[in-house]
Structure 1
Amino acid sequence: MTRRLSGSAGGRPRRRVLLLLLAVLPALTLVFFTPGSAAAHGAPMQPGSRTFLCWKYSLSDTGEIKPSNPACQAALDKGGANPFYNWFSVLRSDGAGRTRGFVPDGQLCSGGNQTFTGFDLQRKDWPYTHLTSGATMTFSYNAWAAHPGWFYLYVTKDGYDPAQPLTWDDMEEQPFLTADHPPLSGQVGTVDGKYTWTGNLPSGKTGRHIIYMVWERSDSAETFYSCSDVVFDGGNGEVTVPGGSDPGDPPTDPPTGECTATHKVVSSWNGGHQAEVTVTNTGSTPMPGWMADWTLPAGQRIDSLWNGTHTVSGQEVTVHNANWNGKLAAGASTTFGYVVAGESAGDAPALRCTVH
Structure 2
Amino acid sequence: MARRSRLLSLAAVLATLLGALGVTLLFGQGRAEAHGVAMMPGSRTYLCQLDAKTGTGALDPTNPACRAALAESGGTALYNWFAVLDSNAGGRGAGYVPDGTLCSAGDRSPYDFSAYNAARADWPRTHLTSGRTIKVQYSNRAAHPGDFRVYLTRPGWSPTSELGWDDLELIDTVTNPSQQGSPGTDGGHYYWDLALPSGRSGDAVMFMQWVRSDSQENFFSCSDVVFDGGNGEVTGIRGAGGTPSPDPTPTQPPTTPPPTHSGSCMAVYSVQNSWSGGFQGSVEVMNHGTEPLDGWAVQWRPGAGTTLGGVWNGSSFSGGDGTVTVRNVEHNRVVPPDGSVTFGFTATSTGNNFPAGTIGCVAP
Equivalent position SS for 1:57: helix
Is 2:327 the partner of 1:327?
no
For residues 31 and 227 of structure 1, do their structure 2 counterparts lie closer, same or farther at Cα, with a shift above 3 Å needed? farther
Q: Does 1:241 align with 2:242?
A: no
Partner of 2:321: 284
1:157 aligns with one of 154, 159, 171: 154
Identify the residue that residue 63 of structure 2 maps to in structure 1.
69
CA shift, 1:182, in A, is 0.4
Q: Deviations over 1:62-109 (max 9, x none)?
A: 132100100000000101111111011000000111111111111010
CA distance 1:165–1:193, shift in 2 (3 Å): same
Q: Does 1:316 align with 2:316?
A: no
User: Could you list the per-position Cα deviations for residues 289-340 of structure 1 after superposition, in whole angstroms to 9, with x for gaps in the alignment?
Assistant: x9x998656xxxxxxxxxxxxxxxx96126598998953589xxxxxxxxxx
**Farther-moved stretch of structure 1 (60-69 vs 314-323):** 314-323
- Give the drift of 1:42: 1.0
- Alpha-carbon distance in structure 1 between the residues aligned to 2:345 and 2:162: 29
Rounded to whole Å, the distance in 1 between the matches of 2:125 and 2:42 is 8
Mapped partners of 1:283, 1:217: distance in 2 = 42
1:151 counterpart SS class: strand
The residue aligned with 2:104 is: 110
Runs of 4+ in 1 over 6 A off after TM superposition: 292-295, 320-325
Kindly tell me: are residues 278 and 316 of structure 1, through their superposed partners in 2, closer, same or farther at Cα, counting changes over 3 Å? same
| Aligned-pair Cα RMSD in Å | 3.6
Task: Find out whether 1:55 has 2:56 as its counterpart.
Answer: no
1:184 matched to 2:179? The reply is yes
Equivalent-residue separation in structure 1 for 2:249 and 2:102 (angstroms): 30
Aligned to 2:119: 122
Deviation at 1:209, TM superposition (A): 0.2
Give the counterpart of 1:96 among 67, 90, 96: 90
223-232 vs 38-47, greater mean Cα deviation: 38-47
Q: Quick one: which of 231, 234, 251 aligns to 2:226?
A: 231
Q: Does 1:257 align with 2:253?
A: no
Deviation at 1:31, TM superposition (A): 11
- 1:229 is paired with a residue whose SS is strand
Q: Matched residues in 2 for 1:69 and 1:45: separation? A: 18
AA in 2 matched with 1:188: P
- Structure 1 residues 101 and 321, CA gap change in structure 2 (3 angstroms): farther
Overall identity of the aligned pairs, in %: 43
Tell me the amino acid that sits aligned with residue 146 of structure 1.
A
Aligned to 1:305: none
Tell me how far apart the structure 2 counterparts of residues 163 and 321 of structure 1 sit (CA, whole Å): 40
Structure 1 range deviating more: 89-98 or 110-119: 110-119
Q: Is the 8 A contact 1:129 1:230 kept in 2?
A: yes
After TM superposition, list the pairs within 5 Å mapping 1:30-45 onto structure 2: 38-45=32-39
Structure 1 residue 221 displacement after superposition: 0.7
Q: Give the conservation status (yes or no) of the 8 Å contact 2:55–2:356.
A: no
Q: Tell me the equivalent position of 2:196.
A: 201
Aligned-partner Cα distance in 2 for 1:94–1:166: 22
Q: Could you state the TM-score of these two structures normalised by the residue count of structure 1?
A: 0.66
Between the aligned partners of 2:50 and 2:65, the Cα distance in structure 1 is 14
**2:82, 2:171 → 1: CA distance?**
23
Supply the distance in 2 between the matched residues of 1:228 and 1:323 (Cα, whole angstroms). 35
Residues 149 and 173, structure 2, Cα contact 8 Å, conserved in 1: yes
Amino acid at match of 2:313: E
Gaps (5+ residues) in structure 2?
Answer: 1-27, 260-266, 268-296, 300-311
Number of residue-to-residue matches in the alignment = 268
Cα separation, 1, equivalents of 2:58 and 2:177: 33
Paired letter, 1:276: N
Structure 1: give runs of 5+ residues left out of the alignment.
Answer: 1-29, 263-274, 298-313, 331-351
- Does residue 210 (structure 1) correspond to residue 205 (structure 2)? The answer is yes
Task: Check 1:189–1:282 CA distance in 2 against 1; reply closer, same or farther (3 A cut).
Answer: farther
